[in-house]
Amino acid sequence: MTSENGHGHGNGNGSALPMLTKKDFSSDQETRWCPGCGDYAILATVQSLMPELGVPPEKTVFVSGIGCAGRFVYYMDTYGVHGIHGRAPALATGLATARPYRGVFLTEKGRALAQRVRLRHRLVVDVLRALGVSSEAAEADAEGIEHYVSEHTLKAFAQFLRSQR
Ligand code: SF4
């Protein structure tokens, strides 16, 4: 929510936004941390800092993971994503690189990784098929095997497949 009390004050970055205050970044949600929790100090500091950045709440997203600190996003009067364990940086990176009106897409690095994962999956499936496993079972079992099979074994799989041709 943008402050109505600025009346023409600048925000320090030359734009015509009204002056923002800590209140503009503070939601009406009751904070539910233990008394004395350090999260209170972090929240208060961030809410105080945000007006200095000159970016309005409606153009701001906070991303959190799980745990007590994950509730941080509810206490900021901005957009917020309460994400999953250990994935806040990935979610935030996705948000920062998202392109409006475009669906999910892979970065160059992501595409290369996806191709490696696909090849690994195909290799395991092909070995299982060569051993007589049904297509359905091979696909299902490869989903598990491909996650822990070693590079050494994968090389042996590839060698085995070549010997079958
Ligand atoms: S991190 Fe969670 S459990 Fe620990 S003091 Fe804060 S609110 Fe309480």
Give 56-69 pLDDT, tens digit per residue.
Answer: 999 999 999 989 99
Nearest CA among 43, 61, 48 for reference residue 21: 48
Assess contact for 31 and 75: CB atoms under 8 A: yes
Q: What is the number of the ligand 1 atom nearest to the C-alpha of 36?
A: 5
Query: What does the DSSP 8-state code read for residue 59?
Result: G
Is the CB–ligand 1 distance for residue 114 below 6 Å?
no
CATH architecture of 108-164: Orthogonal Bundle (1.10)
pLDDT-derived band at 102 (thresholds 50, 70, 90) equals confident
pLDDT digits (tens, 9 = 90+) for 121-148: 999 999 999 999 999 999 999 999 999 9
- Do the strands 79-82 and 61-64 form a parallel or antiparallel pair, or are they unpaired? parallel
* 85 alpha carbon – ligand 1 mean position (Å): 17
The region of weakest confidence among 13-17, 25-29, 96-100 is 13-17
Indicate the pTM of the whole model: 0.57
Tokens at residue 141, please?
Answer: 């079992």
Question: Residue with the nearest Cα to atom 2 of ligand 1?
Answer: 68
- What's the Cα-to-Cα distance from 93 to each of 15, 53, 146, rounded to whole Å? 26, 20, 27
Q: Cα separation of 137 and 143, whole Å?
A: 10
Vertex 73 angle, CA 102 and 36, to 5°: 160
Is the CB–ligand 1 distance for residue 66 below 6 Å?
no
* 69 alpha carbon – ligand 1 mean position (Å): 8
- Burial class of residue 111, CB neighbours in 10 A (0-12, 13-18, 19+): exposed
* 7 alpha carbon – ligand 1 mean position (Å): 40
* 34 alpha carbon – ligand 1 mean position (Å): 5
What does the domain layout of the chain look like in residue ranges?
22-97, 108-164
pLDDT at residue 6 in the model: 38
Is the CB–ligand 1 distance for residue 35 below 6 Å?
no
Question: Residue with the nearest Cα to atom 8 of ligand 1?
Answer: 34
- pLDDT greater than 90 at residue 37: yes
- The overall average pLDDT reported for the chain is 88
* 93 alpha carbon – ligand 1 mean position (Å): 27
